[in-house]
Amino acid sequence: MNMKNLDKAISDRIRVWLDGNYDQDTKNEIQQLIDAGKTEELTDAFYKDLEFGTGGLRGIMGVGTNRVNKYTLGMATQGLSNYLKKVYGDEPISVAIAHDSRNNAEKFAGIVADVFSANGIRVYYFDALRPTPELSFAIRELGCKSGVMLTASHNPKEYSGYKAYWDDGCQVLPPHDKNIIEEVNKIESVDQVRFDGNKDLIEVIGSDMDQKYIETVAATAVNREAIKAQHDLNIVFSPIHGTAVKIVPDALKAIGFTNVNLVEEQCTIDGNFPTVIYPNPEEKEALSMALDKARKLDADLVMATDPDADRVGIAVKNEKGEFELLNGNQTAVLLFHYLLNAWEKAGKFRGNEYIVKTIVTTFLIDKFAASMDVKCYNVLTGFKYIGELMTRLQGQEVFIAGGEESYGYLVGDHVRDKDAVVSCTMIAEMTAYYKQQGSSLYEALLGIYAEYGLYKEELISLTKKGKRGAEEIREIMDKLRHDPPVMIGNKRVLTIRDYLAKTEKDIESGRINSIDFPASNVLQFFTEGEYIISARPSGTEPKIKFYISVNGELDSPANFRKKEKELDEVIETIKKDLEF
């Protein structure tokens, strides 16, 4: 055994695994890495424990404290079990568990179910893979105290993850997330994890819950007349080898659409995602097969969901009749604008309705919501903050929709997480409505721009892997805090919001005010002309993300491309200012 090139703290962690009560395959894999001199891999695998971020627990599968495996999942579940017992005492405790199509997801879900049941907690266990939003729905429907979804969302195939939910169907939030971690950290040995499940406490659920969920999704439809008139709307859909394979087509059928064409090659359940580089509907490559099929069928709409069906990407025909992918902000603009108008026409407004978005999602939504006298809340990045607000306002205000620029939306209050299933049904309804009016989603989007201004956003993600990568991300954020830019995109910076310090600084006066947000490592720079640049380390991936938002007036939809090019040039200037 040779670990002389490793940090002592890391070597000590490795010895715990080699000498402790871990299975022999795990020990053999660690020894192989040591024998091969894989210092960097061992460091990345053991230099820290996996932590709950904006999406829960997520990481690369493999051996080590910083990897997703039987033991890290077992310790997380034991910690969650201990915390549930501490919070609820002698009350009956139940949880719901689901998994997506990831490699090892079913095995991991079984391990989690065993640990919960071994701790005397009743488990409702889905009989096969299910979408994340259905897990959130089931928690609420069954009156569970918690729930776990085994998924890594749209990450590459090497990843897996563990999303922990609370009794409202929302992902765990402060103080619960930190308290759970504290309970996990109290477990000094893997021997303290109860892996031997109690089968009497595990109840399998399935089709009955599917039916309730689909009926609830279908009930969110606003314009039944448009759906009926355009029931044969030509829709192409791909689940990208994931959980939406059956449930999205069934939901579309439930509200009345009769012409849904599946991308058969991507309907196979496969955690290797063989037809794509990344199973991410944000990527054009992931939708290439769907686009090919749409061209052959002359489709009206293309939709694709990620493996756990909480995000959806769409493509529509542009002014040349060519399919064009919309980004997450554009889809959110269309969806929110359509819903506000549809609710108004249906006479559903009572004056206490609201929508909610994240601070890095386009402010065009704020603009048209204000013009329609509908309250628009902004929350931190991470859909759990949208869910938290929904729970807090329940019974006081009426939720219409929530969304974020990363392709996640929710219509209706049946869950507390982003829901690509209901998003697909509402996007299809929206497409049917505009087609009935002799228009298209693309034309509707340009009409919104002409009325309220053209907003253009771009996301820059810098990947910084491993221990050194985490240090680089900290260094970037420190520099932005202590030596902030004065000019960005030839515009003066007027205001800086630091969500970690919970302050807003007016640059001209030097005045600093507090902001009412939970502390979060996010910086926002507001310039003349209402440009917004945001910097945020990802909570689920080894990345730092920069969100650029610029805008300008659009005098006519016919001038869209010209104006878009001008704003693209502004974005390029901003990138140079930020040294990208």
**What is the mean predicted confidence (pLDDT) over 281-292?**
96
Greater confidence, 271 or 56?
271
In terms of domains, do 194 and 140 share one?
yes
Reported confidence tier of residue 179, pLDDT bands at 50, 70, 90:
confident
In terms of domains, do 190 and 241 share one?
no
Residue 235 has pLDDT above 80, yes or no: yes
Residues 6 or more apart whose Cβ sits within 8 Å of residue 547: 360, 405, 457, 458, 459, 460, 532, 533, 534, 535, 536
Residue 221 has pLDDT above 60, yes or no: yes
What is the total residue count of the chain?
A: 580
DSSP string of 11-53, one letter each residue: HHHHHHHHHSS--HHHHHHHHHHHHTT-HHHHHHHHSS----B
Give phi and psi for 331, each to the nearest 5: -65, -40
Measured in whole angstroms, the distance separating CA 54 from the mean position of its chain's CA atoms is 9
Q: Which helix (H) or strand (E) holds 578?
A: none
Contact 289, 238 (CB under 8 A): yes
Token code pair at residue 119: 């701790």
Helices marked H in 148-283: 176-185, 207-218, 224-229, 244-255
Q: DSSP secondary-structure letter at 419?
A: -
**What is the mean predicted confidence (pLDDT) over 63-74?**
95
The most distant pair of C-alpha atoms in the chain lies apart, rounded to whole Å, by: 73
Task: Quick: pLDDT tens for 507-516.
Answer: 999 999 999 9
In a domain, 368, yes or no: yes
In a domain, 553, yes or no: yes
Residue 172 has pLDDT above 80, yes or no: yes
Distance, CA of 363 to CA of 522 (rounded, Å): 17
Place of tokens 């491309």: 561
In terms of domains, do 525 and 418 share one?
no
At 2 the pLDDT is 64
At 180 the pLDDT is 86
At 1 the pLDDT is 52
**Number of H-type helices and E-type strands within the chain:** 18, 23
Q: Which helix (H) or strand (E) holds 407?
A: none
Q: Could you tell me which of 366, 358, 423, 422 has the C-alpha nearest to residue 384?
A: 358
Residue type, 422: V
Indicate the number of domains in the chain: 3
Place of tokens 């890290």: 72
Place of tokens 């053991």: 46
In terms of domains, do 504 and 432 share one?
no
As a whole number of Å, the end-to-end CA separation of the chain is: 43
Distance, CA of 309 to CA of 418 (rounded, Å): 9
Distance, CA of 242 to CA of 235 (rounded, Å): 18
275-301 burial by CB neighbour count: b if 16+ within 10 A, else e?
Answer: bbebbbbbbeebbebbbebbeeeebbb
At 578 the pLDDT is 87
Distance, CA of 54 to CA of 319 (rounded, Å): 38
In a domain, 183, yes or no: yes
Q: Which helix (H) or strand (E) holds 440?
A: none
In a domain, 420, yes or no: yes
Q: Could you tell me which of 414, 258, 430, 256 has the C-alpha nearest to residue 330?
A: 430
Considering the candidates 81, 94, 146, 153, report the single residue annotated as catalytic. 153
From residue 333, give the alpha-carbon distance in Å to each of 104, 203, 280, 381, 444. 37, 41, 20, 17, 10
Reported confidence tier of residue 55, pLDDT bands at 50, 70, 90:
low
467-489 burial by CB neighbour count: b if 16+ within 10 A, else e?
Answer: eebbebbeebbeebeeeebeebb
DSSP string of 480-502, one letter each residue: HHHS--SEETTEEEEEEEETTTT
At 185 the pLDDT is 82
Percentage with pLDDT > 70 across the chain: 99
Task: Quick: pLDDT tens for 137-163.
Answer: 999 999 999 999 999 988 899 999 999
Contact 125, 142 (CB under 8 A): no
At 78 the pLDDT is 94
| SS3 category, 73 | helix
Q: DSSP secondary-structure letter at 240?
A: T
In a domain, 36, yes or no: no
In terms of domains, do 344 and 357 share one?
yes
Residue type, 375: K
Give phi and psi for 321, each to the nearest 5: 80, 15
User: Looking at residue 121, which CATH number applies to its domain?
Assistant: 3.40.120.10
Residue 218 has pLDDT above 80, yes or no: yes
Report the half-sphere exposure of 512 (CA within 13 A, side-chain side).
6
At 57 the pLDDT is 86
Q: Could you tell me which of 558, 537, 556, 557 has the C-alpha nearest to residue 547?
A: 537
At 53 the pLDDT is 59
From residue 337, give the alpha-carbon distance in Å to each of 206, 343, 399, 430. 35, 10, 14, 10
Domain membership of residue 474 as a residue range: 456-577
Measured in whole angstroms, the distance separating CA 120 from the mean position of its chain's CA atoms is 31
In a domain, 10, yes or no: no
User: Looking at residue 512, which CATH number applies to its domain?
Assistant: 3.30.310
DSSP string of 507-549, one letter each residue: TTT--EEE--S---S-EEEEEGGG-EEEEEE-SSSSEEEEEEE
Distance, CA of 578 to CA of 580 (rounded, Å): 6
Token code pair at residue 223: 């314009």
In terms of domains, do 409 and 481 share one?
no
Residues 6 or more apart whose Cβ sits within 8 Å of residue 104: 61, 160, 271
- Residue 212, Ramachandran bin (φ over 0: left; ψ between -120 and 50: alpha; else beta): alpha
In terms of domains, do 276 and 365 share one?
yes
In a domain, 18, yes or no: no
DSSP string of 141-186, one letter each residue: HHT-SEEEEE--TTS-TTEEEEEEEETTSSBP-TTHHHHHHHHHHT
Q: Which helix (H) or strand (E) holds 417?
A: none
Q: DSSP secondary-structure letter at 401?
A: E
In terms of domains, do 490 and 549 share one?
yes
26-38 burial by CB neighbour count: b if 16+ within 10 A, else e?
Answer: beebbeebbeeee
Reported confidence tier of residue 307, pLDDT bands at 50, 70, 90:
very high
In terms of domains, do 324 and 434 share one?
yes
Last residue of a domain, one of 452, 485, 518: 452
In a domain, 177, yes or no: yes
Task: Quick: pLDDT tens for 21-53.
Answer: 999 999 999 999 999 999 999 999 999 888 765
| SS3 category, 469 | helix
Last residue of a domain, one of 452, 475, 506: 452
CB atoms within 10 A of CB 189: 10
Percentage with pLDDT > 90 across the chain: 89
Annotation says 153 is catalytic: yes
Contact 219, 77 (CB under 8 A): no
In terms of domains, do 190 and 292 share one?
no
Last residue of a domain, one of 176, 205, 234: 205
Residue 113 has pLDDT above 60, yes or no: yes
Measured in whole angstroms, the distance separating CA 232 from the mean position of its chain's CA atoms is 31
In terms of domains, do 240 and 169 share one?
no
Report the chain's mean pLDDT, rounded to a whole number: 95
At 136 the pLDDT is 98
In terms of domains, do 196 and 315 share one?
no
